[in-house]
Amino acid sequence: MFRSSKSVRYIRFPSTYSLASNLVRFQSRWAGVPQAPSDKILGLSLLYTLDANPNKVDLGVGAYRDGNGSPWILPSVRMAEKILQDTESDKEYSPILGSPKFIQLVQKLLFAHDTSGFQLLADGRIVTAQGLSGTGSLRVLAEFLHRFHSNHHVKVPDPTWTNHLSIMKDSGLTTSAYRYYDQKSNALDFDGLLEDLSRSEEGTIVLLHLSCHNPTGVDSSPEQWDEIIKMLSERNLVPVVDTAYQGFQSGDPVKDLATLFKFNDAVAMGKIPTYLLSQSFAKNMGLYGERVGTLSVICSGPRESERVRSQLAKLIRPMYSSPPTHGSKLVETILGNEDIYNQWLNDVKTMCDRLDSMRLLLYDKLTVEYNSALDWEHIITQKGMFCYTGLNPRQVEKLRSTKSVYMTADGRISIAGICLKNIDYLARSIDEVTKETA
């Protein structure tokens, strides 16, 4: 049936209506919002995608890639997915701080392998909550510090992961840098680090990378960590420890907690009263998109822990109400099943071994095959997913514009982006550009 034409109504504007004269009136309330600068890593990814060079190399990627340069779902995660598929009975909300089983298993992973950590756990001094991977966990900790710590200043290493600065600043904290990386030696500026910490005001928050420092790949030695913790104690500074690459330093997630054990000893012996920990399963379980991690606060005793726990829940409730469950159920399954846990340990070693082998192969090609006059030893002494190459911005730009090799302007590369298919081209390109610009 067709509608009668009489039922059709037309919008008629007044004869005085003028689109131009009413333009301001009909603008959105957000017409004055300025354009935010684009993310440097995402910008690189876009340029890489648009590049037609078949030999192009993406060294900006911040996720693990296998030997074919492809994303890799860990076999242990596949095993956990299969179990969940057969046994999961609901998709209900989790508690605000996360599943109690998840928290228990993560605390066992992080704190039950050393005497001091085990005792802190037994004494009810550790509060742990699920966070939205490492980023979300750090944000909750930063909000907690802003609300309950009198000193709102955070010292961060120079350089550090750029999002560290945004997280702290957007939580109402201020930041300044302490020396960390020596550009001339491509190594840790340990004397500068200690000197800057020694000049810090009492109560200053200090951000520390537990292992596989992002972006430099340069870590402190065990003896240097002893000196750092001693300085934290003497100046009464508050450590915030970030561990996003647990297992990528040695290939063993438990062995990579050796520095955390030192912090637990320091708390147990009364040298430092507390520390805060952010931890992520994005890298070591490949759960990038699941956004699953944890935050922990070390307290003086169970009563203080209960108060801290209540305030963390109060912070999280209006922020995102409760954490997502699928990722945490995968972690629960992996950590709670002995066979899958052992497979996970093998998976982490597989990833770490591949990264180390690419470091060594790149070093060998530059130093032996191309007889480079430059010192590339830092490539194999640095650890984790990233490497500071020592390439300057001009060389980085030339690599991008003439060779289609993409990395950040500071010369940081993702070792995960290197594979057997591109390493010959990459080494040759680096050698040619460094010789041309020497």
Looking at the annotation, which residues are catalytic?
Answer: 161, 242, 283
Cα–Cα distance, 193 to 227 (Å, whole number): 11
Are residues 362 and 379 in contact, defined by beta-carbon separation less than 8 angstroms? yes
How do beta strands 181-182 and 153-158 pair? unpaired
CB 178, CB 155: distance < 8 Å:
yes
3 state SS of 409: coil
**Cα separation of 197 and 213, whole Å?**
18
- State which H helix or E strand residue 169 sits in: helix 162-170
Q: Please tell me the distance from the alpha carbon of residue 240 to that of residue 142, in angstroms, as a whole number.
A: 9
| DSSP-assigned beta bridge partners for residue 64 | none
The CA-based diameter of the chain, rounded to the nearest angstrom, is: 89
CB atoms within 10 A of CB 20: 6
* Residue 421 DSSP one-character state: T
Strands 405-406 and 57-58: parallel
Find the helix packing angle between 326-336 and 75-87, rounded to 10°. 110
Residue type present at position 395: Q
Give the DSSP letter of residue 415: G
Cα–Cα distance for residue pair 225/141, rounded to 1 Å: 23
Cβ-defined contacts of 171-177 (< 8 Å, 24+) = 171/139, 171/142, 171/143, 171/145, 171/146, 172/146, 173/142, 173/145, 173/146, 173/205
Instruction: Taking each helix axis as running N to C, give the angle between helix 423-436 and helix 393-403, from 0 to 180 degrees, rounded to the nearest 10.
Output: 130
What is the SS3 assignment for 236-303? CCEEEEEECCCCCCCCCCCHHHHHHHHHHHHHHCCCCCCCEEEEECCCCCCCHHHCCEEEEEECCCHH
Query: ω into residue 95 within 30 of 0, thus cis?
Result: no
